[in-house]
Amino acid sequence: MFSDIIANIPWNETTEKIMSKTESDVLRALSKKRCDVDDLMALISPAAEPYLEVMARLSQKYTLERFGKTMQMFIPMYMTNSCTNSCVYCGFHVANKMKRTVLNLEQIEEEYKAIKKLSPFDNILLLTGENPAVADTEYIARAIELARNYFANIKIEVMPLSTEDYAYLTTKGLNGVICFQETYNKDRYKVYHPRGMKSNYEWRLNGYDRMGMAGVHSIGMGALIGLEDWRTEVTMMAHHLRYLEKTYWKTKYSVNFPRMRPSENGGFQPNVIMSDRELAQVTFAFRIFDHDVDISYSTREPKEIRDNMATLGVTTMSAESHTEPGGYSHPHCAVEQFEVSDARKAVDVAADLRKIGREPVWKDWDDVMN
């Protein structure tokens, strides 16, 4: 299990090692055909900042070689905002006095139909809060079975499940799972997740192993940028990615770097702010580090950044996202989990991608290709 691996990678020493990287370390990393985690640490360090243009060109080169000029499109769909967790940064916090919505199968199908009217999405991500009393494995299974009538590729972002549950869902049509560790800093994890299912650091961290053992086709991972030092977070994620690729080598992997925004209403304020330039740096660094990994940007990021990065390393994007249950068939019917920064229609995102020489792809894969 990866929890055994990361236990031997000290957080503070990793931070110090990143910050001590020199220009020669950066140049050595840029000259290598295949980088290791130590090279990634150099590429995300302050010493690499003068080489951002060089990194951008190299990232673009590797992206074109591996992915061509395509951009994989997906759409997220929230089935419930009911949650038993106390994550201090989340709009679905259990103590938040808000209307809790749990879509039934009829309402879920209504959402599917509304999504299909937006654009030819065939790649959907189903999301729930973490409350097994209202959204257990069977609830998710029924939603997946119903989704197969409308979508070719179905992923979930739900509470971490057992190996048996992940395997069961693959028999219902599940293609992929996305899970954010939020922070790899074990000593600080409970500060942000004091109560609820999510407060168990090891159960969440080892969920990726359970996905791999269950034979899940694709696994998405990420750390929430804003809680702890972002450079150390993504280094730990790089260690995690390398471990997963070696252990579950048949699986496809993706990474994401979701940035928290300062709250205007007095809510949780991020401890760390990643600048636009730093987001570009970590994106280029991860592409140079791993030519094959899928790099995803959500609608958390504004139009300008998404369009710029679409030619330089990003390979998957969401579009026209609603982060409230029922949001496609009945907009603004519930509280959103987070505010969307890129509010363009899916067809407009596609048109803008074509203007910069990228071809939006609405379908990921078919069962017949296996």
Nearest partner of 315 among 69, 75, 76, judged by Cα: 69
Q: Which two tokens stand for residue 103?
A: 């879509």
Query: How far is the C-alpha of 210 from the C-alpha of 160, rounded, in Å?
Result: 9
pLDDT tens for each residue of 126-150: 999 999 999 999 999 999 999 999 9
Q: In the structure, what pLDDT confidence band is assigned to residue 369 with cuts at 50, 70 and 90?
A: very low
Query: Is the pLDDT reported for residue 263 higher than 70?
Result: no
Non-local CB neighbours of 200 within 8 Å, separated by 6+ positions: none
Domain 2-365: which topology?
TIM Barrel (3.20.20)
Give the least confident one: 166-170, 190-194, 266-270, 343-347: 266-270
Q: Which residue has the tokens 């209202």?
A: 134
Rounded Cα–Cα distance for residues 250 and 217 (Å): 8
Closest CA to 221 of 177, 257, 182, 180: 180
Beta bridge partners of 254: 220, 294
* Arithmetic mean of pLDDT, 258-266: 71
> What value does the mean pLDDT take over residues 226-245?
98
Name beta bridge partners: 128: 80
Own/partner long-range contacts of 348-351 (Cβ < 8 Å, ≥24 apart): 349/73, 349/306, 349/317, 349/319, 349/320, 350/73, 350/119, 350/319
pLDDT at 339: 67
Q: What's the pLDDT score for residue 343?
A: 86
Q: pLDDT category, 340, cuts 50, 70, 90?
A: confident
Q: What is the dihedral of CA 295, 342, 61, 240, to 10 degrees?
A: -20
pLDDT at residue 338, as a whole number: 53
Q: What values do phi and psi take at 316, rounded to 5?
A: -140, 140
Tokens describing residue 30:
């840029």
User: Is 266's pLDDT higher than 90?
Assistant: no
pLDDT at 341: 83
* pLDDT above 80: residue 337: no
What pLDDT, in 10s, does the model give residues 29-39? 999 999 999 99
When comparing pLDDT for 89 and 156, which is higher?
156
In this predicted structure, the answer to whether residue 326 has a pLDDT above a threshold of 50 is: yes
Q: What is the mean pLDDT of residues 327-346?
A: 73
Asked whether residue 100 carries a pLDDT value surpassing 80, the answer given is yes
Delimit the domains of the chain by residue range.
2-365
Q: What is the pLDDT of residue 363?
A: 74
How would you classify the pairing of strands 123-128 and 176-182?
Answer: unpaired
> Which residues, listed in sequence order, are joined to residue 252 by a DSSP beta bridge?
218
**Tens digit of each residue's pLDDT (9 = 90 or more) over 56-79:** 999 999 999 999 999 999 999 999
Helices first, then strands: H and E counts in the chain: 15, 9
Q: What is the pLDDT of residue 245?
A: 98
Residue 265 above 90 pLDDT? no
Distance of CA 211 to the CA centre of its chain: 15
Contact 193, 86 (CB under 8 A): yes
Q: What is the mean pLDDT of the chain?
A: 93
pLDDT for residue 81 is more than 50: yes
Question: How close are the terminal C-alpha atoms of the chain, in Å?
Answer: 28
Residue 204 has pLDDT above 50, yes or no: yes
Type of residue found at 33: K
Reported as a pLDDT band with limits 50, 70 and 90, residue 332 is low
**Residue 216 amino acid letter:** V
Q: What is the pLDDT of residue 364?
A: 61
Q: Supply the DSSP string of 179-231, one letter for each residue.
A: EEEE---HHHHHHH--SSGGG-HHHHHTHHHHHHHTT-SEEEEEE-BTSS-HH
| Of 155, 189, 192, the residue nearest 172 (C-alpha) | 155
CA distances (Å), origin 58, targets 15, 255, 285 = 25, 18, 9
Q: Residue 340: CB partners within 8 Å, gap ≥ 6?
A: 299, 300, 321, 322, 323
User: What is residue 138's predicted lDDT score, i.e. its pLDDT?
Assistant: 98
Report pLDDT for 366.
47
Lowest pLDDT segment from 85-89, 154-158, 289-293, 339-343: 339-343
Alpha helix (H) ranges present in the chain?
A: 2-6, 11-19, 23-31, 37-43, 52-67, 105-118, 137-147, 163-172, 186-192, 201-205, 207-213, 230-247, 276-289, 303-309, 346-355
pTM score of the predicted model: 0.93
